[in-house]
Amino acid sequence: MAEVLLPRKMEIANDPSKFGSPDPLHVLAVDDSHVDRKFIERLLRVSSCKVTVVDSATRALQYLGLGVEEKSVGFEDLKVNLIMTDYSMPGMTGYELLKKIKESSAFRQVPVVIMSSENILPRIDRCLEEGAEDFLLKPVKLSDVKRLRDSLMKVEDLSFTKSIQKRELETENAYPVHSQLKRAKI
């Protein structure tokens, strides 16, 4: 499906004003360390991301509406594009948070990146197996954050593009001048 959409991407990129531009990436950062929270927040802001920082996995779940007592009501509008979490945290670890996110229907598609100061291969493997997008060694570098942002922007751009094309198709079905050609392409 992606292969069909790609050739159209260029057209739309040339005239984004017609459809507005995508919002900045919203990143939820989770870390129990004050120092690291301040640091990651700055790294993300410098990379033009919107940032929400929390100090525990429990608070992260509360923020997402996945807390024990809460239902995901009213959280459909919450747009989180990336979750970055420390691995070693008191109470719930980043790994446990990862699992909970992947278990939720609302947020399982959100990429989760694990950060750790320890380069332990079995830990890295476990996280990746559980569906982590990436595993970053602390201290995290600005280049790591930019790389993540760039790869996510491509995905966002693609899904943004898909929604534009869906709208275009709907419009053209109402005014079927070129609809024959379009159907042949897809």
Interface ranges with another protein (CB under 8 A): 33-36, 38-39, 42-43, 46, 88, 90, 117, 138-139, 141-142
Dihedral of the CA atoms 99, 102, 104, 107 (nearest 10)?
130
Question: Measured from the CB of residue 130, what is the shortest distance to another protein in angstroms?
Answer: 22
- Strands in 82-86's sheet, in edge-to-edge order, are 50-54, 26-30, 82-86, 112-116, 134-137
Question: Measured from the CB of residue 184, what is the shortest distance to another protein in angstroms?
Answer: 51
Q: Which is nearer to another protein, 42 or 166 (CB)?
A: 42
Q: Which is nearer to another protein, 58 or 93 (CB)?
A: 93
Eight-state DSSP code of residue 178: S
Specify whether the CB–CB gap between 29 and 36 falls below 8 A.
Answer: no
Question: Measured from the CB of residue 77, what is the shortest distance to another protein in angstroms?
Answer: 29
Question: Measured from the CB of residue 71, what is the shortest distance to another protein in angstroms?
Answer: 34
φ and ψ at 112, to 5 degrees? -120, 125
State both tokens at 6.
């790609």
Q: Which is nearer to another protein, 117 or 173 (CB)?
A: 117
* Closest to 148 in 3D by CA, of 105, 55, 84: 84
Q: Which is nearer to another protein, 47 or 81 (CB)?
A: 47
